[in-house]
Amino acid sequence: MIYYISLYLLKFFSRIYFRGTSINRHHIPSKGPCICVINHNSIMDVLAMSLIVKGRVHTMVKEEMFRIPVFKHWLRAVHMFPVIRNSTDRTAFNYAVNLLKKGEILFIAPEGTRKKHKDQVLRARTGFVRLAQLAGCTVIPIAVWGTDRVMPPGQKFPLPVKIAVKVADPIKLEKLELSKEKKHLLQKQADDVMEIVFNMYDELERKYNSKL
């Protein structure tokens, strides 16, 4: 109940207050398994995600967010789960694998952390590729734009800025062994997916930044 109330409230504010736009939303399935790969701008990315989500999805979130009293209970209620950054978090990885094998949809930001400025490109982590290989599921590249402007440093209330999200065609990755010998190929698959994400981000930047 909390999940769907939160989802539709986020959708409402994203469309009305933030003039949210979604492109190719039809590529997001109602059921999984699939991995939705997004670029990470800020904690406000959830606003853009709400514009394309149709049903229940699960989101991997940095563990620090679960240290906030009360807020951590809401995070769990909306199917977010913690991952310890800059480490091999087997608990989070195994939890994600089980979700995918149950036919769920998983959202993940392979950059691992929020960029300090918009031109900074962080190398993609290969976790989502390994998950897709183990679960045998598709990967959907998604570009999120404008959410870094919602709550800039020092801002106490969200600004009514334009946000947008674009979804690419689902991708079925070539089957690879999860071995050290294939590590460079796994990295290439991750980089190729993120290149699609960043190309779509650039398209959104050209389209909407000129209208600000």
pLDDT of residue 113: 45
Report the percent of the chain where pLDDT is more than 70.
Answer: 93
Does residue 156 carry a pLDDT above 90?
Answer: no
pLDDT of residue 185: 94
| Count: domains in the chain | 1
CB 104 within 8 A of CB 80: no
Strands 105-108 and 21-23, bridge-based pairing = unpaired
pLDDT of residue 121: 57
CB 164 within 8 A of CB 20: yes
pLDDT of residue 179: 85
The mean per-residue pLDDT over the stretch 7-28 comes to 97
Does residue 59 carry a pLDDT above 90?
Answer: yes
pTM: 0.91
The CATH number of residue 21's host domain is 3.40.1130.10
Separation CA 83–CA 26 (nearest Å): 29
Show the tokens assigned to 169: 């065609």
Domain hosting 23: range is: 2-211
Average pLDDT, the chain: 91
Separation CA 50–CA 55 (nearest Å): 10
CB 11 within 8 A of CB 50: yes
* Per-residue pLDDT reduced to its tens digit, 92-120: 999 999 999 999 999 999 974 444 445 55
